Structure 1
Amino acid sequence: MHLGRPKNSVGAPHTSVADEALQHAVRYGKDEKGFENVLLTFQSKLCGADDYTFLLREFGNRGEHWKVVRCFEFAVRRERRKNEQGKLASSAISVLGRLGKVDLARSVFDTALREGYGNTVYAYSALISAYGRSANSREAIKAFETMKNSGLKPNLVTFNAVIDACGKGGVELDKVLRIFDEMLKNGVQPDRITYNSLLAVCSRGGYWEAAKNWFYEMVDKGIDQDIVTYNTFLDALCKGGQLDSAIEIMSQMPAKNILPNVVTYSTMVDGYAKAGRSDEALSIFNNMRFLGIELDRVSYNTLLTIYSKLGDFQEVVDICKEMDDCRVVKDVVTYNALLGGYGKQGKYDDMTRVYKEMKAAQVCPNLLTYSTLIDMYSKAGLYREAMDAFKGLKQEGLQPDVVLYSALIDALCKNGLVESAVSLLHEMTREGISPNVVTYNSIIDAFGRYMSAEADFGGNRSSCPMLIEDLAENKTADAEGDSRIMKYFGQLASERGGPLKKDSRGRQEILCILGVFKKMHELEIKPNVVTFSAILNACSRCNSFEDASMLLEELRMFDNQLYGVAHGLLMGRRETVWVQAQSLFDEVRQMDPATASAFYNALTDMLWHFGQRRGAQLVVLEGKRRQVWDNVWSDSCLDLHLMSSGAARAMVHAWLLNIRSIVYEGHELPKLLSILTGWGKHSKVVGDGALRRAIEGLLTGMGAPFRLAKCNIGRFISTGSVVAAWLRESGTLKVLVLQDDRNHPASGGIHKISELQTLPL
């Protein structure tokens, strides 16, 4: 996100001769000999360091870093005064840092230090700033400490430079606070630039509360705030999810004679878009257009991201055309947004077309480009295309990152190639890339899903624990990493997992999951709700109650609340843990729909699998009440296609009980009742998925008068009158009301709602 920091165009005074020398130097372009002749011609006329500093700055403004270096070397050889040489060095370091040539800046600094004119506060401050501009906070802080050890006392410029470097480099807030405290102890008073840099630290780290404190501290101290202050503060609020506060702050800007600019609006739009509030994001954009604020590339990129996620590709096409008409050049961010949008909508031909267009426009793909391509192609089973993208990544000289490795590991896991996935995990750690929670989630989920399957272990019962042991020891393999990855892509392209054969290796996979959890704990990788859902899914596939309890115990060290709820419901202590469960469900509600529904599905499957079916039903009803599944339930239709087997079966019982209450209240049912199970996207026959078979077995078992629709075998139908007659039969209520196998009743609690069969839901 750009924050609209104004460039400082004010320089030291210079003579008209310097202007004339600049005009001559520019004419020679890249002619090094001609450039040297210009410097020689004007050397007797140029007035010391001020004129040369002007030239250094102007060459920097033109992006001609080689002229900066040559001009500095020429000037410093002709200057005998150490303090003037120090000015030249500081200026050259600053200009080269602004151009992103931090290695050249360091070289100038080292030369100045070696020759006795670089040990100054100004030279160190310029070097720290150069590192900061390149987001190299580690080297910036190192230079800061070296400066103090050299006996130099940091000034306001120095502290501002190091705090700015911390912000750009993503340094933790507590470390920045220590530097800020040191600044105050040294009697250096912060200014607007200091506070703007502190706000930037908060913006990048999501510390919106600290940002708020500093913003109002500026007001209390009478420090003027500018557009950068507001834009940075708004960015911190948006990234912290405080959108209402951000809108309020933005509305106050005109009263302070600070008008919102394109950066302000882009920041707000980006905040609303990332929060999933696309309608409000687009409303802000429309207001921006109404006010006549011209969009920049960042604004267009944000718009493209929004419409791509919404699947509105006509708008995407129109925006791209508008960018061309306005001569806004597409950059790598633009193309990455298009690639991600098309990929998530399954438009793989368009994704390939955009990538080719990107190459034709000579926009260099970055690591995110290739990670997106590989991830999207892999999820679609287009492994040869993913392999080509990986080749492109290597040709660009890029190295795979954690996102790319995680995408490939996930693809291997989902195709049953679990051993290959774990081997790739070894490769990843050997390359110095730390797995994250997403990586481990794929492995845990794979072991859970294939708990009763042979996968690609070949029936070797000892291989699974050995793999985890290898993971812990990080053993070295013989094969080269890149060729190994290519082999896995080839394996996916040719095998794609193949049919899974069942055997009795469940306990081995449990040991694997425990090993992965142990490794996560050692690496201090905190599991998230996806991890917990994977664990619950694994529990639902355990052959024994003891095995499931052993897996649940692993949750205790990471999330005692989740453990308490899951274990309590499993043990039949529903009344004891239900208040805690409600709190947990409220937290899950704040997550994205896919993550929330996956958690409810996993928890319900586990409860259903171990006979806690009344508890499973109450859980899915809580999910329905919190709208985890959209439009799942009406009087005439029950849509189960986003639900798992256990959740769907529990929901069928609840829905039929609700319909029964309607019948007993004397109301007529709709003429046609439907239960939808989806198209069975993973089955060979359309509509013949595992969920359909589970629901068919359930309906048949309870004697419910539903039949498969002729035109859609993923849909069960019946007439309202027939279902009403069945619901009035004396034995129907008994098959509809679910019970728990284990029950430890307590006084009070939710026991009062046991009359579920009489309540309209």
Structure 2
Amino acid sequence: MERLREGEAKPSVVAYGALIGLCAKTGNVAGAERWLEELTSSAAEGPNAICMNMVISACAKGGELSKAEAWLARMAKMGIQHDVMSYNAVIDACARTGNVDRAEQWLRAMREVGCKPNVVSYSSLLHACAKAGDADLAEAWLRRMPGEGAEPNVICYNAVIHACSLAGEFERAERWIGRMASEGLQPTVNSYSCIIDRLAKVGNVPAARACLERMLSAGVEADVVSFNMIFSACSRSGDVEQMEALYKLMRSEGVAPNTISFNLLMNAYARQGNTRGARRCMQDMHDAGVKPDRVTFNTMIKAFTKAEDVPGSEKLLREMRSAGFEPDAAALNAVISGCTHSRDTERAEAWLHRMLTERLEVDGASFAIVIEACVQANDIARAETWLDRMEAAGLHASANAYSSVVHAASRLADIGLAERIFCRMEAGGVEATTTMYNALISASARRGDVDRAEQWLTKMLKGGVKPDVASYSALVHACAKSSNIPRAEVWVKKMEEADIDPNVVTYNSVINACARCGNADRAEFWLEEMERKGITPGVLTFNSLINACVKAGCRTRAEKWLSTMRQRGAHPDGVSYSTVIHACTVAQDALRAERWLREMHAAAPAGFGQTGSFCYNTVVQALARSGSATKAEHWLEVALDSGVEVQASTFRAVAGALADAGGIAQSDRWRARAGLAPQGPLPEANASRRLPHGDAAQTHTPWRTACEGPSAPPQAWARAARQPARGR
């Protein structure tokens, strides 16, 4: 065109038409309009209908319906007669946007001006129906076509099949394939592939595979696109077995896989971290003469990252470079992520250092992954250093990068650091999320700092961030930690006023507050309230309630709740039993304590870890102190047989009780088991003297509820031999 302009001859309509046609094929609306405007202003004869139609076609391909309609209207003003192609181009624009009403209006307008619609006109209208997923309307128009002088072709039937598929009516779609064949039209791969595509996209791989096999049985040759549709669904679900079977079918049908096929298969292996399968796929790709692309290498690296094979992913980076692809941020970040998953913080940092030094592509995710690696190592100072470097590199830290540091500081109960990072994030213009505020509230709660927790919830509300059940529950927990029942109850009420329903964690926290204060009445009230709201109490709930009763001096109520909690679907644990058993021993009711130990042993012969050990030791010593030497010895043997860790003081207590009862030989055997010197026979004159035994001087700390965590177990526990003393 430039050469024509430089010469004496002016460009002709044909020359302009060629340029407009080129723009129309690519959907370049601006280019088509520019050349048409130049043609209109420079050529004496002006544009013809062909040029105008091509511009309208460009608008259709570019999805510019209003422009297509405007150019059709302009044709009349320019004195250019509309023809079938003009209207068809506008109807096509309607079809591409799924505007059925406008398509029907233009079809009627054609008839009104005496321009008879042809099969292309109707097929475009049918495509509009398909795009809108209106199967009924598509069928109605297909049936009208013969009566209006247009015999439906394969394209028309395929449009109806597509409409049925989009509506999810797959059987209806296949019936149209049968009707199409009965009309003497040969179904094409597109007839089936639109059904296969929709089935694959909704995740119904077996049905998609069955449709593909019916297509092959009907003598219709499948193409690589048909197979890739199902490959894509399998890849998303990670169904490697189905993909491998489909791959074999593909090869047996003589369909050559392309790069997309191999990448999808490779991605399924990558999702499983199956590096061997991914490597085999890469080899098949090479053997088939299919060149890998950037996605291929990135997917391979993902497989090795998933398998936490950092050396393997690093080797792939070298292969990627050798193939002519410079690793992008996605590939490099995958390698760093692999280091993070392997807990190799130094290696993750080394890669980021290298990326920065070699000026490789680095993005915010690169820093965020390294920050997460530091957080996993509980090295918050290093994480903060990388935040500094990230900002120095001109990159804005994402909410996730800040969030990981805030959460880590919260877990470590470093509220000062958590708040500093949060303020830094706000200064950087990053919006705080609900989970981030929750981390700060939780950090305050761990320290029992109710005022601080309330300040963060207030700030959260002022910032327009909506609290959730975790936000309020954390605040209620803070009140519980500070033993403030009224304040905890106020926040439960505010929570409900905010239309947020308390959950089991919320109720556990408020009941725990009652337990700390020894307020059994309020604890029982909240249990009833909890059940009234349809929330099932768990073992932690009952443990707090039992603890509240014990602290209130209501041992009978505590025992009642221990008896009934199983009936309410909560199985007692070591904390449940240890709380009641300790209360019984404090009340010097050794036989009652034994009754609960017997139930605990029947429920869990192996005990409940440290809390179970506490129960055995406590009951044995209580029985020994009460003079029940035989029972004390029996439960000591049961404890040893069950692998329970027994205190040295428990051995002394049993030995002392047996000695008091005159069983010196038995006493000495138990003392020997504890590594103590034999008692030996007592002089007759000293028969009335009683050697100190048991744990009279030792005060046991009761086990707290699981909400608070157990007290430190006794220091002087010794692992005893597991075989009981025999030969009495």
**TM-score, normalised via structure 2 length:** 0.47
Q: Based on CA coordinates, which of the two structures has the bigger radius of gyration?
A: 2
Instruction: Specify which structure has the bigger relative contact order, considering alpha-carbon pairs within 8 angstroms and separated by 6 or more residues.
Output: 1
Normalised to the residue count of structure 1, the TM-score between the two structures is 0.45
